[in-house]
């Protein structure tokens, strides 16, 4: 299982990576493994400004649909268009080509409240 050190994690199994003033958001390697084969990603919030923990979309696997929660508040700038034709990218490369959205975090976004790699590992190993 992969736990990159350059991202922050949520208890709901999303990750966020800040690059300048833009952040990438996706689901963790653990989450994609637990879900199984991802067949559809639905992001309806592009262009919207949402608060931390609000639902920004859903991810569908063969037997269930799971909500996706925003790690910090901000504006959804873009969704990963490649997932429309290749949702399996989330399974193959959850921290790279399988990212879900790009967002502009609020100025007061609380990254310190998120988990680092060690804390996330401890969470899923409980």
Domain of 31, CATH number, reads 2.40.50.100
CB 15 within 8 A of CB 113: no
**76 phi and psi angles, rounded to 5 deg:** -80, 115
Using one digit for the tens of pLDDT, what is the confidence trace for 58-99? Answer: 999 988 999 999 999 999 999 999 999 999 999 999 999 999
CB-facing half-sphere around the CA of 14: CA atoms within 13 A: 27
CB 120 within 8 A of CB 14: no
In a domain, 1, yes or no: no
- Stated pTM of the model: 0.95
Using one digit for the tens of pLDDT, what is the confidence trace for 7-60? Answer: 999 999 999 999 999 999 999 999 999 999 999 999 988 999 999 999 999 999
CB 69 within 8 A of CB 51: no
State the residue range of the domain holding 79: 6-106+115-122
Specify the number of domains making up the chain.
1
């Amino acid at each position: 299982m992969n736990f990159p050190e350059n991202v922050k994690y949520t208890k709901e199994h999303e990750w966020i990576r800040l690059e300048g003033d833009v952040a990438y958001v996706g689901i963790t390697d653990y989450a994609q493994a637990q879900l199984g084969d991802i067949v559809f990603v639905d992001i309806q919030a592009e262009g919207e400004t949402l608060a931390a923990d609000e639902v920004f979309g859903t991810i569908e696997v063969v037997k269930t649909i799971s909500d996706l929660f925003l790690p910090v508040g901000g504006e959804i700038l873009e969704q990963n268009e490649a997932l429309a034709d290749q949702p399996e990218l989330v399974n193959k490369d959850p921290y790279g080509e399988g990212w879900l959205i790009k967002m502009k975090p609020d100025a007061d976004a609380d990254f310190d409240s998120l988990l680092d790699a060690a804390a996330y590992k401890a969470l899923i190993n409980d």
